[in-house]
Amino acid sequence: MKPEQFQAALAQMGVNLNADQMAQFEQYYQYLIEVNQHLNLTRITAKEDVYLKHFYDSLMGAFAEPQLKDQPWHLCDIGAGAGFPSLPLKIAFPQLQVTIVDSLNKRIDFLRALVAKLGLTGVELVHGRAEEFSAKQSSYREQFDLVTARAVARLSVLSELCLPAVKVGGEFLAYKAAAADDELQAAQGAIQTLGGQVSSTMQLVLPTQPEPEQRNLIIIDKVAATPQKYPRRPGLPAKKPLA
């Protein structure tokens, strides 16, 4: 997907990027590739692939949750890695307040430099484990309108990492690939235990692909407070997912 195709495809979905925003995406790409030479941020490096599989893919969240386009929500991105999906969302929808959590300090350093290069404001970067970020005594617990996660863990694990950070009345938006149905079925008990309720799922495909890649966007409403004992200590949600 060339940059002009990226812009046109988004416009067809009601996401209109101006010249300044397109310039920010170009800066994002250039700096990602520069730093990726000595820090393993992504295996996807060809420009057309980055625009499709990172930038466009990240913005698909706004297709599932259109309120991202205009609401001044406080969004938290758990395990953002190189900034996906939160920073593409922030570029496209500047009114968002964004908090990014990642366990690797080198990635946080990259993101800090990237945010400065792009001239973004309203972005907070937190170095830490997701389990500790929204633990019982954390000031971040149940504070966010929307929590996102992309390519982090299976949904039964991801729910325990993300739902404790969502405020009651907020949403958790999970970016998933083709196995979403099986993951969702296996995670139903965990979602309910953590105060969530599946609101909607949207199945999409990445455009301009010889073999279209399926994407699934799952929105989980936070309908009740998460019990104080969750999330459990670091590492335990992945080792022993909630049933």
* Sequence-separated (6 or more) residues with CB below 8 Å from residue 132: 138, 234
Distance CA 73, CA 134 (A): 18
Task: Please provide residue 176's backbone torsions phi and psi, each rounded to the nearest 5 degrees.
Answer: -130, 160
How do residues 107-154 score in pLDDT, each as one tens digit? 999 999 999 999 999 999 999 999 999 998 899 999 999 999 997 788
| pLDDT at residue 75 tops 70 | yes
Residue 84 marked ligand-binding: yes
Distance CA 84, CA 227 (A): 29
Per-residue pLDDT, 207 = 85
Confidence band, pLDDT 50/70/90 cuts, at residue 69: very high
Confidence band, pLDDT 50/70/90 cuts, at residue 61: very high
Per-residue pLDDT, 153 = 83
| pLDDT at residue 178 tops 80 | no
| pLDDT at residue 176 tops 70 | yes
Residue 34 marked ligand-binding: no
Domain ranges of the chain: 3-239
Per-residue pLDDT, 60 = 96
Q: Choose between 31 and 151: higher pLDDT.
A: 31
| pLDDT at residue 214 tops 90 | no
Residue 131 marked ligand-binding: yes
Give the percent of the chain with pLDDT over 70: 99
Per-residue pLDDT, 6 = 97
Per-residue pLDDT, 209 = 67
Give the percent of the chain with pLDDT over 90: 87
User: Which class is 3-239 in CATH?
Assistant: alpha beta
Residue 79 marked ligand-binding: yes
| HEC-encoded secondary structure of 155-177 | HHHHHHHHHHHEEEEEEEEEEEC
* Sequence-separated (6 or more) residues with CB below 8 Å from residue 180: 155, 201, 203, 216, 218
